[in-house]
Structure 1
Amino acid sequence: MTIDDHKSHLVTLGKFLKQFQVTGSKKDEEIPGNDRFFEDFDQKIDNAIHYNGWFTRENIIFALQQWSEALTPQNLKWWLGDYNLNQSGGKTVGIVMAGNIPLVGFHDFISVLVSNHKVLVKQSSHDKQLLPVIAAYLMNLDSRYENRIEFTKGKLEDFDAVIATGSDNTARYFEYYFKGKPSIIRKNRNSVAIITGNETKEELAKLGEDIFRYYGLGCRNVSKLYIPKDYNFDNFFQAIYEWNPIINREKYANNYDYNKAVYLMSEFKLLDNGFLMLKEDKNFGSPIATLFYEIYSDETELEKNLEEHSEKIQCVVKLHPGKKEVKFGHTQKPQLWDYADNIDTIDFLSIL
C-alpha cells in the first residue's frame, strides 16, 4: 500500500468523522461506507459515554471534529512530506493505549499504518468503543487493512516494537516488560501556561478551553499557571466563568468537594470561585478541579526553569507563543506533526 493510498483513505475517514455533531449527526450520502457504519458509529458514541463516566457526547464530538479537521490532504502532505517511508514497513508494532480522553491513542494508530507496519492494539477499558469501528471502516475502504490491524485483550505478544502510554508507575512496568524491543514509552506529563498580566478577558477566556476541556484529564490540559508578582486573579476568574456549568457534572463535583476538604483540613491557602480552586504549588500535576500557580519575576529565568523540567511538561502555553509553545485555546487542537513528548513517532517507525 502506498503513502498516497493511506492519505486518500485517511482523508475519507476525516470526512466520515465530520458528520458527527453535538447538535445532531448529519448523514452525508456521498461519504463511502455510510450505509454500513454511520448508525453504528453514532451508537458507539453513546456506548462510550456509558462505559466511561468522564466521557460526554460534547467531548467525544470535540475529539472527532479535531481529527476531521486534521485529516485533510494539505495536512497529510505537510505531515509526511519530509519522511522517506518507501523502505519502511513489514513489522508488527504494539500500541498500549491510555483511556483518559476519547481516541487518545489514535495518532499512534495511524502513524503505524502510514509507515506500512501492522498495528497490534491493546485498548484501555475506558476507551474501547470508537476505535474498532474506525478500524472496520478503514478495512471497508481497503481490504488490505484487514491484515494490518489487530486488537488484543490480553498481553501483547509477537510484536517487533511497541508504543506504550501510561502513568509513571505503569511506565516502569512497560520498561521492564518491553526491554529488548524498540519502544516509545510515555509517562505522566502536564501542561503549563505563562500569564504576563497584560491579557484581556477575551484572551484569558481562550485559556479556559485549555484548562477545562476533557475535565483537565489530558496531558495537554493546563494544570499550572505561572503568574507575575501581585497578579490580580479577578480578570482570570471572570474570563473562565462561562465554564461554571462543569460543576454540575457529578464526577467533577465529587473531585472538587474531596480536594477542597483535603486542602481546608490541611489549612492550605486557596482561591476558589465555586468550580475551580487555585493553589500555590511548585508541582506540575494538579488534581481535578484544582489549578496550581507559581509566581515568577523574570521570564527568561522562567523559560530556563521550564527547559530544565521539560521531561515533565507536554505543552507551554502563552498568548504570543514561540516556535515550541502553544497559543491560548489550542492545547487540545494539536496538528499531526505535534508529537507527544516531542518524540517523532514517524521517524521511530521509519527505521524499524
Structure 2
Amino acid sequence: MTPYNQRITAFVELGKYLTDFCEKCYANDDSIDLEFKEIVARAEHENGWFTQENILHALREWGHLLTKENLEDWLSGYDLSTVDYPKIIGIIMAGNIPLVGFHDFLCVILSGHKVLAKLSSNDKRLLPHLVKFLVEQDPSLEESIAFVEGKMEGFDAVIATGSNNTGRYFEYYFGQKPHIIRKNRNSVAILTGKETQEELVALGEDIFRYYGLGCRNVSKIYIPEGFDFDPFFKAMYAYGDIIHQHKYANNYDYNKAVYLMSDFKILDNEFLVLKEEASLSSPISVLFYSYYSSEENLQKELDTLNDQIQCVVSNQYKDGHVGFGETQKPRLNDYADGVDTMEFLLQL
C-alpha cells in the first residue's frame, strides 16, 4: 500500500471510530471508548461553550465525511503527485467551535506535507486524541505531525485563523511566508416570508448550533418589507432550551439590558433578541436583521459585503447558497473564505 493510500485508510478508519463513538455515547453503551469519553468531558469542563452535545455534533459530522468514497471524490480533482519535497505547514487553529481546524489538518496531511499545529487553549484536547488514533492506524504519520506551544518556528508556510485583530498580527508575523490568513466572517440568511415552518425550524440550527460562535452560523437575516415575524418566532421556540446554558443566558441578559437601556427597538422571545442593524456580526443571543426592497438590490448589497460573508443561506437553490439547516454540515470541498486550501498546499 502506498503512503497516500495508507493515509486515506487511516482517515477512513478515523471516520468509523468517530461514528461508533457517537452512537455509543448517545446509547449510553458500556463498551464506549472510556479514554475518549473522558477527553470529551475534560474539553467541556475547560470550555463552557463546548457542551457534550456540540462536541458530539462536530465528531458525528466528521464521521460522516471521512469515508473512502467522500475522500476519493474530493481528492479526484487534484494532482497529488506534485509534492516532491514535503514542507512544514504551520497551522494556527481557532477555538470557537470543536475541531474547527481539523479541515486544515486533513488538507495538509493528505497533500503530503507535514503539520506543525498550534492549538487554541479553548480546544486543546480533541485533536491530539484523534492524532493518536491516526498514528495507530498509520505509524508513518508520527513524523508528519507535531504540536507546538508558544512561538511557532521552523515552518515553510502558514494557515492561520483568528479575528480581525489577530489577523493583522498574523499578516505582520507571517507575511513573508506563503500563507492563508483568515479573519472574521459571518453568515446571513435570506427570507422571503414564504418559508415553510420546517424550513424556519431548520434555520434555527444555523443560528443556534455552537451558540452562534462559528463563522458559518447565521448572525443576520435579510427580510422583505412587511415581513411577518410570528412564524419565525414560532419556529425558534424549538430551541428555547438554549437559555438554560448559563454562559448563553448571561450574554442574553447582558445584551438585552444594554439595548433596553439605550432605547433601541428590539424584538424578543425571552431567549433570542432581534435588532434591526446594518452590521453582519451580531453578539451571542442576538440576531440582526435588515429589510430589502428587491432581490436585485439585495444581491448588490451582498456583493459589496462578499469578503465579510462565509455562507448565504436560503431556499432559492442558487449557486453558492446553502440550504436551511445545512451550514454546520460542510462538505470536504467547502473551503473557508472560498480559498482552496488543498490547491494552495499543492502549489508550494
Band of TM-score, shorter chain = over 0.9
- Aligned: 1:221 with 2:217: yes
- Aligned: 1:61 with 2:53: no
Deviation at 1:264? Answer: 0.7
1:31 equivalent in structure 2: none
Further displaced range: 81-90 or 198-207: 81-90
Q: How does 1:31-70 map to 2 (within 5 A)?
A: 38-70=33-65
1:306 equivalent in structure 2: 302
Quick one: distance in 2 between partners of 1:225 and 1:3? Answer: 43
- Aligned: 1:12 with 2:8: no
Contact 2:7 2:138 in 1 (8 A): no
TM-score (norm 2): 0.97
1:95 equivalent in structure 2: 91
Deviation at 1:59? Answer: 0.5
One of 266, 270, 273 as aligned partner of 1:270: 266
**3-state DSSP class of the match of 1:20?**
helix
| Aligned amino acid, residue 134 of structure 1 | L
Quick one: distance in 1 between partners of 2:5 and 2:280? Answer: 41
One of 58, 61, 81 as aligned partner of 2:76: 81
2:127 equivalent in structure 1: 131
Deviation at 1:5? Answer: 2.2
| Aligned amino acid, residue 138 of structure 2 | D
Q: RMSD across aligned C-alpha pairs, in angstroms?
A: 1.3
Deviation at 1:25? Answer: 5.5
One of 310, 319, 326 as aligned partner of 1:323: 319
Quick one: distance in 1 between partners of 2:329 and 2:317? Answer: 15
Distance change (3 Å), C-alpha of 1:102 and 1:138: same
1:193 equivalent in structure 2: 189
2:202 equivalent in structure 1: 206
| Aligned amino acid, residue 66 of structure 1 | E
Further displaced range: 73-82 or 157-166: 73-82
| Aligned amino acid, residue 9 of structure 1 | A
Contact 1:19 1:27 in 2 (8 A): no
Further displaced range: 164-173 or 71-80: 71-80
**3-state DSSP class of the match of 2:275?**
strand
Contact 2:225 2:292 in 1 (8 A): yes
- Aligned: 1:153 with 2:149: yes
Contact 1:52 1:126 in 2 (8 A): yes
Distance change (3 Å), C-alpha of 1:6 and 1:98: same
How many residue pairs are counted as aligned between the two chains? Answer: 344
5+ residue gaps, structure 2, are: none
| Aligned amino acid, residue 71 of structure 2 | L
**3-state DSSP class of the match of 1:240?**
helix
- Aligned: 1:172 with 2:175: no
2:240 equivalent in structure 1: 244
TM-score (norm 1): 0.95
5+ residue gaps, structure 1, are: 29-33
